[in-house]
Structure 1
Amino acid sequence: MPDAANLYLFVIAALLLLIVPGPNMAFVTSHALAHGWRAGFAAALGISVADLLMTAMVSAGIGALVMSWSPAFEVLRWAGACYLIWIAWQALKTPAAAQGAQRQLASLWKIFGRGTVNSLLNPKALLFFMVFLPQFVSVETGSISLQLMFLGALLALIALLFHAALGLCAVQLGAKLGGGNLSRRLGTYGFALVMAALAARLVFLERPR
C-alpha cells in the first residue's frame, strides 16, 4: 500500500481530475438524461470496470507492450470513433413513437458494456493510467504491482461514486424539463450529438510524441 502522503495526494488529484468536464462526464450524463438514473449508474459502473482492467494491464506491463506496437494508438482511436458513431446512429434511427419505451427498456447490461468498451477503446485513457498511477507508488512500501492495483481500484471507486452522483443530478435536471414527446426527442438528439462529439474527439486526437 502507498504511504499516507502519496495516498492523500492521490485522492486529491483524482477528485480534481474528475470535476474537470471530460468525455466520461459527457458519456454518463447523456445516458442518464436519455434513459434514467439506472442507465447513468450502469454507464458509470462500466467506466469504473474499464479503469480496473486498464490498471491490471498497467500493473502487468501489458499496457506498455500494447502501446509499444506503433499502430496500436491508431487502431484503438478509430475503433472507438466508429463505435461511438454506431451508438449515435442506433439512437437516431429509433422511431419517435418508441422513444418512451426505449427510455424504460434500454438494456442496462448494454449500457454497462458501452461504458466499458468506450473507455477501453480510448488510447489516451490507457496512456493516462500508464503515466498517472506510477507517480504515487512508493518503492519502499512494498510490491509496486500491488500498489498500482490498489491505486487503480481506489480511483475506480472514487470515479464510480462521482459519476453515479452526476447521473442522478442529470436526471433531476431532465425531470425539470418535462417528460413530453418534445423533451424525449430533444433528449435523443442530444444523446446522439454527445456520442458524435466524443467520436470526433477521438478522430482528432494527436498521438503523443
Structure 2
Amino acid sequence: MIAGLATETLAGFALTSLIIELTPGPNMAYLAMIAATEGRRPGFAAVAGVALGLAVVGLFAALGLATVIAAQPLLYQALRWGGVAYLLWLAWDGWRGADEAVEHAARGSTLALYFRRGLVTNLLNPKAAVFYVAVLPGFLPVAAGAVQAVTLSAVHVGVATAVHLAIVALASLAQLVLDDPTRSRILRRVLAVALAGVALWFALKT
C-alpha cells in the first residue's frame, strides 16, 4: 500500500492511464510533428512542458477545481475552444514554417519555446481536466483525501510522460532521413494537416 492506496489500485489506474495515453490525441500529434521535423531535443523540451501542464491540471483536480470546471458549461467551453484555437495555430505555424530551413534548437531560448508550447497545449486541454474528473475518482477509496488524489495524478503524469518520450524517440528517427528540403517540407505539411485534423476532432468529441 502506497499513500493509502492498494497496489492493485495503483496498477489498475496505471494500466488505464496507459491505454488512454496510447489513444491518438492532441499531445501525440503535436509531439510527433515536433520530433519528426525538429529533432529529439525540441521534442523532449515539449514533453517536459506537457508533463508540467498535466501536473498542474492534476493538482487542481486534487483540490476540486476540475469539478468546478466540469460543472460550469461556459468555463468549460471557453477552455475547450481556447485549446482548439491554439492547436489550429500550431498547425498553421507548422505549415507556414515548412519552407524554412530546419533548426535543431541548439539555443536554450528555442527549447524554452517548445517547452512553453507543450505547457500551454495542456493547460488549454479540457480533456485532461475531464480525465481527472471522470476517471480518477473511480480508483479512489471511500473517504479518500487530497493525498490519494495527488498520488494517482502523479501516476498518470508518469505514465503519460513515458508514452510521450517514446513517441518523440520514435518520431525523431524520421528526422534523421529528412535532410532533403523537399521531403522535409512535405512531411511538415502533412503533419501540420494531421494536427489541424486532431484539433477539429478535439472540437467535435470533447
TM bucket (normalised to shorter chain) is 0.7 to 0.9
Task: For structure 1, list consecutive stretches of 5 or more residues without a partner in the other structure.
Answer: none
- When residues 134 and 82 of structure 1 are mapped into structure 2, their CA distance, relative to the original with a 3 A threshold, is same
Are 1:78 and 1:202, in contact at CA under 8 Å, matched by a contact in 2? Answer: no
Identity of aligned residues (%): 27
State whether structure 2 residue 183 is matched by structure 1 residue 180: no
Show the counterpart of 1:46.
Answer: 49
* Structure 2 counterparts to residues 71-110 of structure 1, below 5 A: 71-94=74-97, 96=99, 98-101=100-103, 107-110=110-113
Which of 119, 126, 130 is the matching residue for 1:127?
A: 130
Which of 43, 62, 66 is the matching residue for 2:69?
A: 66
Measured after TM superposition, the shift of residue 65 of structure 1 is 1.5
- When residues 22 and 70 of structure 1 are mapped into structure 2, their CA distance, relative to the original with a 3 A threshold, is closer
The separation in 1 between residues aligned to 2:73 and 2:82, in whole angstroms, is 15
Q: Which amino acid aligns with 1:91?
A: G
Are 2:61 and 2:133, in contact at CA under 8 Å, matched by a contact in 1? Answer: yes
Measured after TM superposition, the shift of residue 53 of structure 1 is 1.0
The separation in 2 between residues aligned to 1:66 and 1:16, in whole angstroms, is 25
Measured after TM superposition, the shift of residue 200 of structure 1 is 1.0
- When residues 135 and 95 of structure 1 are mapped into structure 2, their CA distance, relative to the original with a 3 A threshold, is closer
Are 1:122 and 1:202, in contact at CA under 8 Å, matched by a contact in 2? Answer: no
Task: For structure 2, list consecutive stretches of 5 or more residues without a partner in the other structure.
Answer: none
- Match of 2:130, SS state, is helix
State whether structure 2 residue 199 is matched by structure 1 residue 199: yes
Measured after TM superposition, the shift of residue 95 of structure 1 is 7.0
- Match of 1:118, SS state, is helix
Q: Which amino acid aligns with 1:146?
A: V
Normalised to the residue count of structure 2, the TM-score between the two structures is 0.87
Normalised to the residue count of structure 1, the TM-score between the two structures is 0.86
The separation in 1 between residues aligned to 2:164 and 2:97, in whole angstroms, is 27
Which of 1, 4, 7 is the matching residue for 2:7?
A: 4
Q: Which moved more, 1:71-80 or 1:106-115?
A: 106-115
RMSD of aligned residue pairs (Cα, Å): 2.2
Measured after TM superposition, the shift of residue 90 of structure 1 is 2.2
Structure 1 segments, 4+ long, off by >4 Å, are 102-106
- When residues 16 and 92 of structure 1 are mapped into structure 2, their CA distance, relative to the original with a 3 A threshold, is closer
Measured after TM superposition, the shift of residue 117 of structure 1 is 1.4
State whether structure 2 residue 154 is matched by structure 1 residue 153: yes
Q: Which moved more, 1:129-138 or 1:101-110?
A: 101-110
